[in-house]
Amino acid sequence: MKNLTWMMAMFLLMLAGSAAAQEEKELTKVEKKALQERIDKYLHDEAEEALNNRAFTLEADQVIFKYGQTAHVTANTNFVSVKDDHAVVQTAFNIPVSGPNGLGGVTVEGIFSDYELKKDKKGNISLSINVMGTGISARVDITLYEGSNKATVSITPNFNSNRMTLNGVIVPIEKSSVFKGRSL
- Structural domain includes residue 7: no
Give pLDDT, residue 18: 58
CA distance 184 to 147: 36
pLDDT digits (tens, 9 = 90+) for 96-127: 677 776 777 788 888 988 899 999 999 899 99
- Structural domain includes residue 94: yes
Lowest mean pLDDT among 57-61, 67-71, 126-130, 167-171: 67-71
- Structural domain includes residue 1: no
Reported as type and span, the H/E element at residue 63 is strand 55-64
Look at the chain and report how many structural domains it folds into. Answer: 1
Q: Identify the domain containing residue 52 by its residue range.
A: 29-175
- Structural domain includes residue 122: yes
- Structural domain includes residue 129: yes
pLDDT digits (tens, 9 = 90+) for 136-159: 788 899 999 998 899 999 988 888
Report which of residues 12 and 46 the model is more confident about.
46
- Structural domain includes residue 162: yes
pLDDT higher than threshold 70 for residue 48: yes
- Structural domain includes residue 171: yes
- Structural domain includes residue 36: yes
> Going by C-beta distance under 8 Å and a sequence separation of 6 or more, which residues neighbour residue 80?
57, 58, 60, 87, 88, 89, 90, 140, 142, 153, 155, 166
Query: Exposed/middle/buried for 83, CB within 10 Å: 0-12, 13-18, 19+?
Result: middle
Largest CA distance in the chain: 87
CATH of the domain at 52: 2.40.128.410
